[in-house]
Amino acid sequence: MFRFYIDNISVRIAEGTLDIVPKKINVLVGPNNAGKSRLLREIRDYLSGDKSDLKIVDKIQCPFPENLSGLDESYHITERMVKDINGHWMLKAYSNKPSYAMDMNVTLENYHVRNMATLSGEWRQYFEGIIARKDYTQFFTWFGPLFYQYLGTEERLTICKMQKNYGLDSNSINFLSSFRFQGQVLDELTNKVRHLFKKDIFLDTQTLGDRLAFRVGEDFSYARTGHIDTEELARKLFRESLLDSQGDGLKSFVSTFLSLKSDQCSVLLLDEPEVFLHPPRARQLGELIAEAQKDNRSIFVATHSVEILKGILSKSQDVNVIRITQPQPGKNEITLLEQNVLDSILQAPLLRVSRVLEGVFCEKVIITEAEADELVYQELLEKIVPASGTYFAHGQNKQTLAKIAKMYQKIGVNYEIITDFDVLRVPADFNRFLSLMPLKEKKQHQLLSQADQLREIINQSVNTDGLSEEEKKQEEKRKRNDVYHKQGIRFFEPNLQRKIRETLNLLSTYHLHILESGELETILEEYDVAYTSDKSEWFDKAINRISELKPEDISRECELFRFISKIAGIPL
């Protein structure tokens, strides 16, 4: 017995090729126009025997049948072979790789109907020859439609519409006809549509003559309880709305759901399944995709939706997250996110509910300590670099910033980290960020040593005369809080300030930007927003003050302009 699956996909990248070993679910993410949808179409074309326009896919490795009998046993080739009106053999298999461009002059029957390959001679001998010489092109041309299904936006909106009702004796087949006798799948569809869309759905095979279509209404229990055997019931069903007239969100969902439930294909290609769906529905669809995973199938999903990604990851661990970018025209970068890095984010509750994962769809992300930092820096960036379009994410505290940055680093997302001056206070916190940088061990120790020296200088500045050991510790702690939070670099003598600035500038080149004045609440002091330990009060004043500022109010010579410019990558 032969079962088709993909062993490996070799893709072209700037440095050569990259091998991707598919998992049960493979999610393609990245910025717009990076090549996600194209990669899906190229997999589809390769598996249909068409290699005429491959830019990303180099080669797909997959098993090849040893003989025709094994292929026939698994995919019922003999039963599927029929003759067309010209007496030519063809394989009765649904194909949704269009043979025509979809326009007003092309019917659904011509757009999505069957494999178009035909053969005038004896088919068994011909197929045995294909297998004997391992002719992959002809193998996929004939049998590819048995192995894969592709759903792009057009496909999702068309394959669930009213179609020809092909009988078992017909030489043709289409999408809806293949589900007529799958009662369990149709019942599951009904339950999902009721739950998500608060409507009922029913496949009408009785009132449309040689057509069949989904009906959408309030309750089709009268049609499910038994065969419609009276004209009154038939007319009642006939008056119900067609799915064709419903919103694109419902049509897209129905097509995707049925494709996920199909047992016929080993490879399912879903391009932007979130289109037409609100975020909560996209999250639920992601969960549905994960729940539909099977041992004998690989699902590939190209998406711009973090909700699709979160939904999938919440229900499955057998997932590849593949990030695609195009730094230069025609040059792709493709990176696989390691599972352990992804798990470290998903297992942190504060990160699961934040916007961290959305960063995998962006060219660049600025990471801040908390939501207030994110909002303040975002407003300041818009003042200095209008319409920058830079994406922000926050990690709730310093301990998680390095973890987020490591994830972005692994998957190839450019990032900048903004943190307060007190990152230099705790050696372990500071070292987490240094470990992200391509520093030699000696340089890393020098930077840690410099941070230690600053802490020692602060401690030595405390007058401990007459204090007990416990009082001394408390006074040193109070002083450290004052310096790291309120004074920052200003506490130190001028020569040392210069050396500290040199270090901070060095760290900025490695994407770590430390606010030299202290905590966030010190950043607007020169614009009359004084430091206060009441963070909520300060935040309200800061946001209002930033909204009042004009771009020309922020001098190019001031520290605020220099700091934001470094983060934005603007030469000073």
pLDDT per position as a tens digit, 478-519: 999 999 999 999 999 999 999 999 999 999 999 999 999 999
Tell me the mean pLDDT in the region 426-446.
Answer: 94
Indicate if the pLDDT at residue 106 is higher than 70. no
Distance of CA 536 to CAs 355, 397, 525, Å?
Answer: 22, 17, 16
**pLDDT attached to residue 351:** 62
CA 305 – CA 513 distance, rounded (Å): 29
Return the pLDDT at 263: 80
Q: What is the pTM of this model?
A: 0.85
Give phi and psi for 148, each to the nearest 5. -135, 160
The whole-number pLDDT of residue 353 equals 62
Contact, 444 vs 450, CB < 8 A? no
Using the predicted structure, report yes or no on whether residue 121 has a pLDDT greater than 70. yes
| CB distance 368 to 548 below 8 Å | no
Q: Per-residue DSSP letters for 180-199? A: TT-HHHHHHHHHHHHHHHS-
Q: How many helices (H) and strands (E) does the chain have?
A: 23, 20
| Most confident listed range (224-228, 461-465, 473-477) | 473-477
Pick the more confident residue, 183 or 302.
302
Residue 296: is its pLDDT beyond 90? Answer: no
Q: How confident is the model at residue 86 (pLDDT cuts 50, 70, 90)?
A: confident
Can you tell me the mean pLDDT for 323-333? 87
The answer, yes or no, to whether residue 370 has pLDDT greater than 50, is yes
What strands lie across the sheet with 16-20, from one edge to the other?
16-20, 8-13, 57-61
Q: Over the stretch 530-571, which tens digit does the pLDDT of each residue have?
A: 999 899 999 999 999 999 998 888 888 888 999 999 998 887
The closest of 244, 194, 189 to 219, measured between CA atoms, is 194
Under 8 Å CB-to-CB from 128, ≥6 apart: which residues? 67, 68
CA 30, CA 326: separation in Å to the nearest integer?
9
371 vs 106: which has the higher pLDDT: 371
Q: What is the pLDDT of residue 431?
A: 95
What is the arithmetic mean of pLDDT over 430-443?
95
